[in-house]
Structure 1
């Protein structure tokens, strides 16, 4: 089993809703596992999933950051060298807070997906919930415009229509310089 000797680091995969953040993070986790790199994949939405949210913090960012601080610390103490985070970062001024919560240097990678492809993904994901579909369709365009306006991300990876998640994951780890020689997971 090969292990990495590099210093711990974190990667936040961000993008609009439906861009493939969580799926890409999972595939990166599989690639890191194949490369025998100790890691953790953390879905930031799961760390903020509580109801109700405060009026001043509708997406529970403060709760998510507090949870990330603890979860990241525990994973690092257990030996993780790579933290792969999936979530939305809307404000570049908040990036230092995410890095502080992760406890290690953080690189932010934005997945850039054409909104027509996002719409197709969202229609498939929320086919049985019209209210959720409408909200996500509206939010995808709104969030994409926000991310464009503020230039979120240290790097950007374009995602082509129909591109396999394993290919996106490989492109991301190549862009960030992590185990670029790993092969994609099977299945």
Structure 2
């Protein structure tokens, strides 16, 4: 089993606009780490704030997400996960995730052409209000991510397979080497 060196971040956080491939890539990174016999856990941050309605004062449910992340990450660490792979949007509040984890993260943005993002969102969501919201939100969020420039690195993706993107992410970040 491979373990982390002291200087290397043990948390890889994939960010990007809705439909950029964060969760799909995170699962593919997990598959590659498993093939390398690297102890890890994959956390889809969307699942940590899946509740309705949103709490008052927390419209994007980030406080709920961070509280759940703190608990889930601690449980995974206790169970033996050396590395964590997170998938979720981070614009300017990286420090809040690092605080919740109690350690630094390597933040990697996945950037896909908006035409690819729109096609993915159209395939993922049934026609209606939710799909329309995601399609409107994608370019807005992409612009916020451009302006924030908070990622350690950005990987441009397009029609590659999740496995190809995951391999590029691991090669570019040096994560879990």
Q: Quickly name the TM-score band, shorter chain normalised.
A: over 0.9
Deviant stretches of 4+, over 2 Å: 2-8
For 2:50 and 2:100, how far apart are their aligned partners in 1? Answer: 17
Identify unmatched segments of 5+ residues in structure 2. none
Contact 1:6 1:81 in 2 (8 A): no
Secondary structure of 1:37 counterpart? coil
For 1:102 and 1:26, locate their aligned partners in 2 and report how far apart those are by CA, in whole Å.
Answer: 20
Deviations 1:138-179 (A, max 9, x none): 01011001111111311111102x111101001111111025
Structure 2 CA distance for partners of 1:5 and 1:110, relative to 1, 3 Å: closer
Asked whether the equivalents of residues 45 and 86 of structure 2 are also in contact (C-alpha less than 8 Å), the reply is yes
Quick check: 1:14 aligned with 2:15? yes
2:103 matched to 1:98?
Answer: no
Question: Displacement, 1:51?
Answer: 1.1
SS of the aligned residue for 1:64 comes to helix
**2:83–2:176 contact (8 Å) kept in structure 1:** no
Shift of 1:102: 1.7
2:162 counterpart of 1:165? yes
- Under a length normalisation based on structure 1, what TM-score does the superposition of the two structures give? 0.89
Bigger Cα displacement from structure 2, 53-62 vs 42-51 = 53-62
Q: Secondary structure at the match of 2:37?
A: coil
TM-score, L = length of structure 2: 0.93
Gaps in structure 1 of 5+ consecutive residues: 181-187
Matches within 5 A, 1:37-52: 37-52=38-53
Tell me which of 151, 171, 174 is aligned to 1:177. 174
Aligned with 2:107: secondary structure? strand
Tell me the SS of whatever aligns to 2:11. strand
Q: How many residues align?
A: 175
Measured in 1, the distance between the counterparts of 2:139 and 2:85 equals 25
Cα deviation, residue 52, structure 1 = 1.1
Offset of 1:5 from its aligned partner?
4.8
